[in-house]
Amino acid sequence: MTEEVPHNPVRGAARRRLAVVAAIAVGAPVLAAGAASAQVSPGGGTSAPGDPEVTSIQCLTRCIDGTTGVVKSKIRLLGTDLANTKVVSLPRSDGARAKDKEPIVKPNGNVIARVRKGAVTGAVRVADTFGQVKDSDYSFTVGTKEQLLEVQQQFRFPVKGPHTYGDGFGAPRAGHSHQGIDIFAKCGTPLIVTHTGVVKANAYQGSAGNYVVIDGQGVKQDYMYAHLMRPSSLRKGQPVTTGDLVGKVGETGNASGCHLHFEIWGGKGWYTGGSPFDPEKLVRYWDSYS
Ligand SMILES: [Zn+2]
């Protein structure tokens, strides 16, 4: 039974039996039984798990926001009884479904799927290996490339020039662990503002060398740039815009080789109640388009 049918209120196992009955009776493939027959009582036989139930849909890649993506976005489905998911689909404007037939079921029961070509905003439909099909109660929004571009342009990769990656977050350091990511580039390579905000610090410190911190506006992220060649010309409190010059790659402070040490602090920010997190995914994403 590969045909996807909309969910009906009969529980999975019961519906499968109903389906068999219907197929015998009318010699046709399973149809969406709008009226659930109460005559079929559950119990006995092989039982499928409950119907798959999607309770939350998150956008993971190419996201316009947390619940809005575009074609080719990776999405995460949370819910119950998703372990046997076989096909994840979204509607298409021509009435067909844009299907991902190779979703990944995680050990924790979450499902990772792709938004396929032609997908438009609508309920996410999950079909499992038991032939159970269920639409999510609310819609996942599929936006346009233009909208994605607009969001992407709000964030820029901090190094404007050829670069390579060095140590990542958590790498061992004497007495502590690395709180950021190292991006190697020629000394003098321009460093730019990742996201519009306000300069929170511009100072020198023994290990960070010349450093700058920018408090990102509306994103609950602070960005810390270390080892700048010279003190930045930015003033504390100065508003800055994505792409503005921060300074140049250097090796001041405790650095071997010209590189940017870059940290992202979440929550309440850099030394104001927040904490640094592994920025690699974000940084590599920004690197992929800027
Ligand atoms: Zn570093």
pLDDT of res. 51: 87
Domain positions in the chain: 50-151, 164-289
Centre a 10 Å sphere on the Cβ of residue 108 and count the other Cβ atoms it contains. 7
CATH architecture classification, 164-289: Distorted Sandwich (2.70)
Which tokens in the block code for residue 197?
């905000």
Same fold? 50-151, 164-289: no
Please give the model's pTM, rounded to 2 decimal places: 0.70
Nearest to 63 by CA among 139, 138, 152: 152
pLDDT of res. 228: 98
- Tell me how far the alpha carbon of residue 229 lies from the centroid of ligand 1, in angstroms: 15
Question: Which residues face 59 on adjacent strands?
Answer: 75
Contact 109, 82 (CB under 8 A): yes
- Tell me how far the alpha carbon of residue 193 lies from the centroid of ligand 1, in angstroms: 18
- Tell me how far the alpha carbon of residue 60 lies from the centroid of ligand 1, in angstroms: 26
- Tell me how far the alpha carbon of residue 165 lies from the centroid of ligand 1, in angstroms: 10
d(CA 243, CA 239): 12
DSSP of 176-188? EE--SEEEE--TT
Residue burial 122-155, b: 16+ Cβ < 10 Å; e: rest: bbbbbbbebbbbbbbeebbbbbeeeebeeebeeb
Fold of 50-151: Immunoglobulin-like (2.60.40)
Which tokens in the block code for residue 128?
């499992």
Segment 263-276, tens digit of pLDDT: 999 999 999 999 99
Mean pLDDT in the chain?
Answer: 87
